Structure 1
């Protein structure tokens, strides 16, 4: 009883203490800060600019004057590089970070800046579940400002000098950028504000920031241990009313933002995505015309400006690449929806860093690339602006592709410096591709697979339709075309195609008489089902990162085995001409080396395209109301065709690639390079994992393809009988040894490794099939005759190796 009373007494004391905690006075930090008279803070010497916020500069301090009307309004904050250290790998115009923030009143004359996060949403804000979502979605406070004074109309005045001068969570560089540059602590004494300029819906802050760094590859860092960056921060007021959302569908390739949807009528949260797109709407007076199907101009046109740093001769081609998209937007009901203009250099009120303007930036970089990012309203997916990055050396990239892929078809491609017209055409195609990303489109690496291979050599057809249905594919140029086809540039260049027009229609055409994006998605689904049924070529094949061989970069046609045979025929025409095509006064064979390596790389691509047909499968995303399978095995005839291609074009050594004249000028190791390529291919097609893959995919159904049959096909394509030809037999003996070596490795996969259990591949029948095939190979070798003493010694050694492996003797 005494213990119970003591326990109750202790409980009473704890409860009393807890009650006292509840009535504890507020912390000192919540005490009101001292508010001064307006004229004491914003003195008569202040330099004042009006805009979204009124900005004052007083004695080297910057103040924002923020009206109540902008509290709780979402503001997109985008940091971009203006100037960067030489060889740093980042360039002016590139985005460094992106946040969404808003201001709200805090306790004690504080103005809080919170970071807004949109990862959880409710379908209906009136549902009780909305309260649960809200209570678990507290927005982080990025900064707390003292309100220094109140201006006319009660506007709050805060000092933002240190906020922009120093590093902070809201404006900090993204972690991957810091990692790439190996940045350490900011040096506050060498970081400062250059200017803050307000505009009607945005504020532009230009700063200089210095960081310690260990990035010794950057010359400035190696010399001083620091790097200095010039940055621009754009604070863009997001629309008061977000644009109508449109939900992502994996059958149409759009960039998208992820969130989790909570709905009382659903028994689980749902993972949803919003597509990113510009807000295109008819002018109010044209709405009825639009509904009737008449083309109308949008209330706000999509405009891209050309960076004045861009060489003047290329500007018209970059502009043309943007304007090419007008035809796609017409399919969505808009005319003149998109255009490009030269930057008005005489207009001093405009800034390249102003987030209201989309710009194609010209970057002085040796990187052979271009990119098309965009920033979007996280609430709705509305694209606010885009900055295409155009690296100078992208011209080197497209030059080399064009010479190597279609040099035999276009005499203009047979030199190291293209004429301006040809280079301009190629710039136009890259411009169109990158602008496609900026309007929201992802790569469609499956697009080229929708063109029948024979049509790529049909002059009339391919010049009218193009060699791929999407410029968002990496289809590059029509390498299938042969010189005798006499196909002109209209059939060689990529262009905006049927898929691109359809994708823009799906993403941008307005939907009427629906309540919300969820009802819209039903209409959008019907558009997809109906359109794909009418025209299967509109299929979106994804980014080319999966196992579907139809979705690959740099490939062409519905049959890459046939297409790439034509590609190799063209490479065989290119190689003997390379010395002549690459000749320039004073060049020390640097051009020849570069272009020859490009040919080898192109040849390797052809092999890789074909290899993906071995062990892959077709994947066609479908909704429940679409007929047919989502996952389909690749017909075994295609697998056999792929093996035969590899046998002809790699296992039969590609000596044509090692031209004697070129070898006399460049260092070549053909035997080593060919053996490496053959070995890498055999590792893929003769390993136990591939056999296990085949067991799973082809052991039932209409079409059986046994591992035994597969290995027989592999042997037929790869095992080259010895002939007595000294050079060829050198390659064939090496290939036979590699072949046996890979089979022995497959046999030995079933042997337990010390300290661990076998995995599914090792435990499967794969090693049995490999063993049986090895036994059969030994039997065939016993009765075969080979010419020459060296070949006979090779045969004897190989049989001895096989015999040891079959007996389990690893010594």
Structure 2
């Protein structure tokens, strides 16, 4: 008797034999022994194998061939990972990180931002900086995932959207292979987050700019430190390693252009880590209402070109950048907002400065209360043991950072590019105040007093430019690079030096600490203003009269300026004057006005009329406005209005500069009369010298703005006030006299030999051991004005001034001949008096000749708009040649040598000019 199990096993064996025979190359199917038909059917049904050559079971479909390039199953890739659910869930296993992308989120825009959490601490590379932002989307092309930056600069809002998209390309930020097949339920797939560990921020270019070395990303030694995700935000914190294979040896012969040194703040100049926070933030489902900008006020804008309507004369659109601020109770005169603007104070802020930082933040509630919002701005302190980074895109913050050569604050923001709604802001503020300001200004950023022969004096300016570049792809849209903290520290240093020298305030006293606290509040008010959407206003300081500045009751209540968005100087009384408020402490009239325009809740149907009414208040006291470009300092934009300046005070800037000269001379006199004592800071005298020269250097350039200057006024076409008018001739002449008798005079820079010989160095620290060169510092002060007076823009405006004045009023106008002859006669006054020429004056005269030579011999100078100025300048040069001939052989040997050299130079210049012509 044969058992049933035995029969079944026999049938299976027979079927296996048949399959083996069919699969053997060269073996015909008939070679295999046939199996019993009764046993074969169930065996085939169980195994799924074909019953005969070419036959297929009707119960089983044929399996397609396996694609070796197909992504692995989701479950296999995600096995043993820790998952953080959010906008884009983040999965992590050991050092590996994946981003989960739902298919529904493909081609759906979001805000992609990068913030800089850690850096190298020098030359513009600092921690706690906001980086680039862009509207982006994920795209899938086959098994490749692309992170695409969408082009929002050009739009077709009125139609023609497809034509615009075809005309202007987006940009690829990163790409990588799909890491998994779709999740069966969530319909999402994984991508390796390592696609972000490339040079998306473009730091390699910035490093090359700073050091002229080819740094690149080392992907193998870059990694993710932390991750976080919620419904609106997914954040990945990365440490990216930049390296260069080798540092080249310095050239044997110094090059004509100084080569920057390699990084000094890193242990090894070939290697550095930078920390980035990559933020994927959901855009608001309901876009915020937009508000058009008005040029009579200064707001940052989201600007783009709308090519959807060819009937508009100007296709540019400018929407005000502002937070979404809505009343909980729209009918209430004063209501709390649905969502306040919350600023988190970084745990790195020293505890003793936190009250001043908080006060600077909350000061803005005064402006919001005036338009019906209670507690619109809130300040919160990050706990000292917090394990989260407030540089992610969900926390507006005040960040405190340090660096080896840093002293600035910056207030950038990230916005929804569709509307201008501010979504995030991170104010970066360096520790310049915690070091008292003075140490930084003198020790880390020498400006002309010391000559170390290193070619590094300009590095701080380069650092500013590089830090501004860290804003990245759309920097010019959202932020103006702000040096207020550094410059305010210089102002504070000068004020403390003057008051300490008078004995009115002691170093390291509670009064000195109060100075620092007040300045921190002032700078925080300024930077918070930027993150609320306000630009600089460099005309606000002129809205306060000189009499008001001397009235302490008035300044305590109203501040020193019409706006905290100006660069406001210290209000230091002259010796013998009554004390007053030293620095700006509160919002001004302009700040209330600008906040009202941006944030006042207005019904949609009356919004246009109400905004027009608000903007039309530009002629009210305290509402004057002018921005960075009006102030000048941007390439060919020299700033032609002497009332628009950084760091002046009062309605008569020229009077302010004269006062600063007197205060500087008082400081230097007191410093020279005080004998150094044991225990003094060895760098104290250097700092006090530098403090005064910094003040006069700024005054020198700004006084020159009066000559050939134009008073400007921001208003709409048809306004009663002229858009521009020439500076009063009497004021121009007053400025020339001040330069001639003040800053061009050697008597303004006299120092006792006993004082100069007593200046010490810090022999423990290698810094600041250089020779103190008074002539070099004086030259930098004087040349700021001289360059301003002799530049082409000033000449062209002087020539064209009569065009702006009715014929009946042209008598008494200042001419280019008067300016050139006044400058020349004041600089060379000794030729008429026969006096001995002081070494400081000889330096100034040499610099004048160099500029004369440049203007008379450069190509094309005798043509174009400068032609008339060239002719007058050459006529003055001929006159100077005659006077130099008459003065030959007079004075000391040094004076005679100088006169002979000067005559030879100007004769050569005139001959070369005539030959060229």
Q: Which band: TM-score by shorter chain? A: 0.7 to 0.9
For 1:544-555, list aligned pairs within 5 A.
544-545=631-632, 546-555=639-648
d(CA) in 1 for partners of 2:910 and 2:509? 63
Aligned residues of 1:369 and 1:394 also touching (Cα < 8 A): no
CA RMSD for the aligned pairs? 4.1
Alignment partner, residue 621 of structure 1: 714
For residues 601 and 107 of structure 1, do their structure 2 counterparts lie closer, same or farther at Cα, with a shift above 3 Å needed?
closer
CA distance in 1 between counterparts of 2:102 and 2:896 reads 92
Contact 2:155/2:306 (8 A) holds in 1: yes
Q: Hey, what does 2:446 align to over in structure 1?
A: none
Q: How far off is 1:649 after superposition?
A: 0.7
CA distance in 2, matches of 1:365, 1:193: 24
Unaligned runs of at least 5 residues, structure 1? 1-30
Structure 1 residue 344 corresponds to structure 2 residue 383: yes
SS at match of 1:444: coil
1:121 lines up with 2:172 in the alignment: no
Distance change (3 Å), C-alpha of 1:575 and 1:147: same
Partner of 2:414: 375
Q: For the residues of structure 2 that align with 1:688 and 1:134, how far apart are their CA atoms?
A: 43
Matched, 1:468 2:561: yes
CA deviations 1:712-761 (Å, max 9, x no partner) are 544675553579897x6536974896599479749x83x796xx784325
- Name the SS of the counterpart of 2:323 in structure 1: coil
* Whole-angstrom CA distance in 2 between matches of 1:50 and 1:799: 78
Report 1:239-258 matches (<5 A).
Answer: 239-258=284-303
Identify if the C-alpha distance between structure 1 residues 609 and 657 changes in structure 2 by more than 3 Å, giving closer, same or farther. Answer: farther
- Residue equivalent to 2:724: 631
User: 1:765 corresponds to which residue?
Assistant: 868
Out of 275, 278, 282, the position equivalent to 1:230 is 275
How far did 1:380 drift?
1.6
Flag the 1:735–1:88 CA change in 2: closer, same or farther, 3 A. closer
Give me the whole-angstrom Cα distance separating, in 2, the residues matched to 1:767 and 1:53: 66
1:34 maps to what in 2?
70
Correspondences of 1:315-326 after superposition (within 5 Å) = 315-326=354-365
Contact 1:246–1:520 (CA under 8 A) maintained in structure 2: no
Shift of 1:783: 11
Task: Work out whether residues 687 and 745 of structure 1, in 8 Å CA contact, stay in contact via their aligned partners in 2.
Answer: no
Cα contact 1:81–1:230 (8 A) shared by 2? yes
Secondary structure (helix, strand or coil) at the match of 1:97 reads: strand
Report what 1:176 is aligned to: 206
Q: Equivalent residue for 2:829?
A: 720
SS in 2 for 1:654: helix
- Tell whether the 8 Å contact from 1:549 to 1:617 is kept in structure 2 after alignment: yes
Matching of residue 288 in structure 1 with residue 331 in structure 2: yes
Partner of 2:20: none
Please point out which of 815, 827, 830 is paired with 1:706. Answer: 815
Contact 2:861 2:870 in 1 (8 A): no
- The 2-side partners of 1:151 and 1:589 are apart by 69
SS class of match (1:488):
coil
Give me the whole-angstrom Cα distance separating, in 2, the residues matched to 1:802 and 1:347.
69
Higher relative contact order (CA 8 A, sep 6+): 2
The equivalent of 2:243 in structure 1 is: 212
Counterpart pick for 1:497 among 585, 588, 592:
588
Aligned to 2:164: 133
Matches within 5 A, 1:479-498: 479=572, 481-489=573-581, 492-498=583-589
Give the alignment's TM-score, normalised by structure 2. Answer: 0.73
1:482-540 Cα shifts (integer Å, max 9, x gaps): 34332333x533532111121111112133224xxxx95665344222x1233364333
CA separation of 1:626/1:414 partners in 2, compared to 1, >3 Å: closer, same or farther? farther
Distance 2:906 2:217 in 1: 67
- Taking the aligned partners of 2:649 and 2:862, their CA distance within structure 1 comes to 41
| SS of match in other structure, 1:148 | coil
1:642 shift after superposition: 0.4
Match of residue 21 from structure 1 = none
* Matched residue count: 754
Cα separation, partners in 2 of 1:778 and 1:330, compared to 1, 3 Å: same
Q: Which residue of 1 aligns with 2:231?
A: 200
Indicate whether 1:162 and 2:271 are aligned. no
| 1:613-638 deviations in Å (ceiling 9; x for gaps) | 11232232321242232222212111
Do the aligned partners of residues 583 and 240 (structure 1) sit closer, same or farther apart at CA in structure 2, a change above 3 Å counting?
Answer: farther
Rounded Cα–Cα distance in structure 2 between residues aligned with 1:766 and 1:375: 47
1:659 deviation in Å?
A: 4.4
The residue number in structure 1 matching 2:45 is none
Question: 1:397-438 deviations in whole A, cap 9, x for unaligned?
Answer: 355522423655685655267643332222111221121122
- Match of residue 534, structure 1, among 617, 620, 624: 620
SS of equivalent residue, structure 2 residue 165: helix
* Segment drifting more, 331-340 vs 781-790: 781-790
Q: Assess, with a 3 A threshold, how the Cα gap between structure 1 residues 99 and 178 changes in structure 2: closer, same or farther.
A: farther
- Alpha-carbon distance in 2 for matches of 1:223, 1:640: 57
| 3-state SS of 1:80 partner | strand
Establish whether residue 189 from structure 1 lines up as the match of residue 236 from structure 2. no
How far did residue 233 of structure 1 move? Answer: 1.6
* Equivalent in the alignment of 2:18: none
Deviation per CA, 1:254-297, whole angstroms, max 9, x where unpaired? Answer: 222331112435156612333322111112xx1122xxxx1221
Distance 2:888 2:699 in 1: 35
Equivalent of 2:756, from 647, 657, 663?
663
Q: Residues 432-454 of structure 1: CA distance to partner in whole angstroms, max 9, x if unpaired?
A: 11211222222212211222233
> By how many angstroms is 1:611 displaced?
1.0
Partner of 1:404: 494
Q: Once the 2 structures are TM-superposed, how far is the Cα of residue 657 of structure 1 from its aligned partner?
A: 5.1
2: CA distance between counterparts of 1:341 and 1:315?
10
SS in 1 for 2:576: helix
Asked if 1:611 corresponds to 2:643, the answer is: no
Conservation of the 8 A alpha-carbon contact between 2:137 and 2:149: yes
